[in-house]
Amino acid sequence: MELAPWTIWMILGIICVIVEILDPAFFFLSLGIGCIMTGLSSLFPFIGNTIAIQIGLFVIFSFISFLLMKKLGKKVLQSAGNETNVFALKNKTAFVVKDIPAEGKGYVKVGGEEWSAVSEDKTEILQNSKVLVVDIDGNKLIVRKILED
């Protein structure tokens, strides 16, 4: 039993997509899309069923797919680097709503929410002072007083 060329291209495309699932780098997905598109286009006899034309179509489809995947990959990786949850509060400005004692815990308001906070340099920070969130320790913020001119 001899397989039709379109079947071979489709099988290769599915194999590339499976490899991409195991190793997500967007490279094999581009090749898989190139194979699948070549397989679909080889179903149309007016395009030509010679192996040279099919390889040419594979190269073109894979290249276009690679360019699109590169753009998509940049977008996905760029958004993945953003901090989430409490870590998104780092480097945000807050206001002290309850005094922060030198060696104790007070409260600050940042982004409309109140958080427990301690002073970074263990100094007292009074109510209504403007502070910068420099780090997170569990569920409390570590803050530094912003000196106002």
The predicted pLDDT at position 138 comes to 84
CA pair distance 15, 7, nearest whole angstrom: 12
pLDDT at 86 over 90: no
Which structural domains are found in the chain, ordered by start? 5-80 (no CATH), 85-145 (2.40.50.140)
How much is the pTM? 0.51
Within a 10 A sphere around the Cβ of 87, how many other Cβ atoms? Answer: 10
Band of residue 25 on the pLDDT scale cut at 50, 70, 90 = confident
CA pair distance 70, 56, nearest whole angstrom: 21
Tokens 């379109």 correspond to 6
* Mean pLDDT of the residues in the chain: 86
Q: If we measure between CA atoms, which residue out of 74, 72, 76, 79 comes closest to residue 30?
A: 72
Residues 6+ positions from 68 with CB-CB distance below 8 Å: none
pLDDT at 30 over 60: yes
pLDDT at 130 over 80: yes
**Three-class HEC string of 115-146:** EEEEECCCCCECCCCEEEEEEEECCEEEEEEC
**Would residue 148 be called left, alpha or beta, if left means φ above 0 and alpha means ψ between -120 and 50 degrees?**
beta
Tokens 């910068």 correspond to 132
pLDDT at 84 over 90: no
CA pair distance 93, 102, nearest whole angstrom: 20
Band of residue 77 on the pLDDT scale cut at 50, 70, 90 = low
Weakest-pLDDT range from 48-57, 74-83, 102-111: 74-83
CA pair distance 6, 133, nearest whole angstrom: 59
Q: If we measure between CA atoms, which residue out of 26, 22, 19, 14 comes closest to residue 66?
A: 26
